[in-house]
Structure 1
């Protein structure tokens, strides 16, 4: 019995994966954003800056709605935009002080003072990276007191109290 030698089968090489420039550009954008937050907030590690950035963006995502929310998410690096856009908006945005306290409750070891630093570090970087009209539109949706967290002077007078005077 004669056994025929196996015939050489040519194999088709697997296609070389093409780099997804959107993912690498998006990742680079996220790294650039968190690097800027790390520098602004003087955080010891990149992981700390990333955690603070995610937390603040998550809560900001609950407070910005409509066209401004879409524009904000589209103006940020893809990962940051997803963090903002994936949040369920609140019906009534919290005043700035309560927003900071909420952030403090979600960052281990945080106090209202350190949370204000965290929020200002992230929102200040965002204000630097967003165009001026978008930042103005986002601030217009938020209660009085947020401008300073974005690194802007808050020149608008507070809303008058509706409480009766004696």
Structure 2
């Protein structure tokens, strides 16, 4: 009545993939939030510079920069409007939440697969349910048009393998 090694291996691999994806979206949320704050800070700085120039507060030696501030402000505002940081951040935040929930579900399944009284058929049925849930999340995340950050994904892959292997390998 115990779970086969093949089924345990499937649960392990799925747990790793979902944990990696959850950690990726956590990192992506932090990166997009930082980008949004930087752009907004630059917009505020540009507005302050444009205001300073308009009332001639700048010292005479810096008056040469007067045309740069409004132009820089315009560039930053266009970047802010065209990048849709808020929309992308909202999508990434939802993806992070959904993948964290899935990771928790896979961890529970891993614990169940390790229990001697658990039937293999029960685990296989739950694997199929969780895969369906993950496909639904992946479908809307994939359609969200949020690019993949390769360096972040590579770093997360290595970190996740160490964390999950150390915590759940048996």
| TM-score under structure 2 length normalisation | 0.28
- The structure carrying a bigger helix percent of its residues is 2
Q: Which of structures 1 and 2 has the larger relative contact order (alpha carbons within 8 angstroms, sep 6+)?
A: 2
